Structure 1
Amino acid sequence: MTADVPHANPASRGTHHPGDATPFALGLLLRQAHWRAAAVMTEALRPLGIELRHFAVLIVLADRGATVQRDLAAATGSDKAGIMRVVDDLERMGLAVRRSVPGDRRVRAVEITPQGTELLDAAYVAAEPLADRLVAQLAPGEPEQLMDLLTRFAYPPGSEA
């Protein structure tokens, strides 16, 4: 049995080439950009002994202060088990600590340690030249324009940032 599925014109299929105007082109392009940026940031973090997933949690903790694990999961796009593993790693490395939340023994808040803050600062210093290299082919003003466009795309009006 075959489904009644409309068939695309072969000329309108995604090609994964620059300038592709198919419905999936934006998602594919964003994915490729993510892989490229993640590779550069992974290179910057490797000498510091952390991974991007650790870095993402440290950024949230530095920005928000003590944060319950479920909110860390939401802020970093992790699931409950994944965030627990990351926080376990950060605790083992002395970069974060879990603390009880007054009034709810089941909930634990995660806090960045002074050592975690130092490592986060070192990560920014290590990443800066690599990040500059990542956007080196863009014209003056375009890196800021790209950041603005991606920020508005990722956080549309009315969404929680």
Structure 2
Amino acid sequence: MPAPTTTPIGVVLAHTAKTAGRAFDHALAAAGGSQPVWQILISLKTRPVANQRELADAVGIQGATLTHHLNSMETTGLVTRRRDPANRRVHLVTLTPDGEQLFLRLASAAIAHDERMRKGLTDAEITQLADLLHRLAGNVTDNPDSP
């Protein structure tokens, strides 16, 4: 089999995703957070009081992993949890004022990271890139022969 003349697009995409993800991790860490905490905070901002099951679904993590993060966030005063009066088996999660402040810091870091990612690209290129990435994702998720 002859060697490819260009780097396979999957390799380029995987490397770029890791690099961008690490840069985002560093940006959030510098602002006092992490990606899981950011995802939880932004989910709570769109649904100010959420039960843990809804929150796990919104963030895309398992219930036990969410509980681990919420335990830490509750200990540091970022969220509160209370039983739902209508269903005592359900815990409702709410942001505290400290959680609101961290959300604002992480939102600023996320916006700055996005601006850094967009540097040197036109609006048309950003639109084209988003379209291409969606099409690439569709190629691997819609293909019945893909693993």
Q: TM-score range by the shorter chain?
A: 0.7 to 0.9
Higher alpha-carbon Rg: 1
Query: Residue by residue, what CA displacement relative to the aligned partner does 1:91-144 show, whole Å, maximum 9, x if unpaired?
Result: 112111112111211110111112111111111223333322222242343235
How much has 1:55 moved relative to structure 2? 0.7
- 2:60 is aligned, of 57, 67, 77, to 77
Structure 1 residues 93, 14: closer, same or farther in 2, change over 3 A? farther
TM superposition shift of 1:150? 5.8
For structure 1, the 5+ residue unaligned runs are 1-9, 155-161
Give the alignment partner of residue 47 of structure 2, picking from 64, 67, 71.
64
Q: Match of 2:32, as an amino acid?
A: G
- Establish whether residue 97 from structure 1 lines up as the match of residue 80 from structure 2: yes
Which letter maps to 2:96? T
Counterpart pick for 2:121 among 138, 145, 155: 138
Specify the alignment match of 2:109 in structure 1.
Answer: 126
Using structure 2 for the length normalisation, give the TM-score.
0.75
**How much is the aligned-residue C-alpha RMSD, in angstroms?**
2.9
Aligned to 1:88: 71
Residue number in structure 2 paired with 1:159: none
Is the CA contact (8 Å cut-off) linking 2:33 and 2:106 kept in structure 1?
no
Which residue does 1:17 correspond to in 2? 7
Aligned to 2:143: none
Equivalences, count: 137
Alpha-carbon shift at residue 89 of structure 1 (Å) = 1.3
Deviation beyond 3 Å, 4+ runs, structure 1: 13-16, 28-34, 144-154
Amino acid of the residue matched to residue 139 of structure 1? T
Does the 8 Å contact 2:81/2:92 carry over to 1? yes
1:29 offset after TM fit, Å? Answer: 5.7
The structure with the greater share of residues assigned to helix is 2
In the TM superposition, 1:107-122 aligns within 5 A as 107-122=90-105
- Give the alignment's TM-score, normalised by structure 1: 0.69
The alpha-carbon distance between structure 1 residues 151 and 68, as it changes in their structure 2 partners (threshold 3 A), is farther
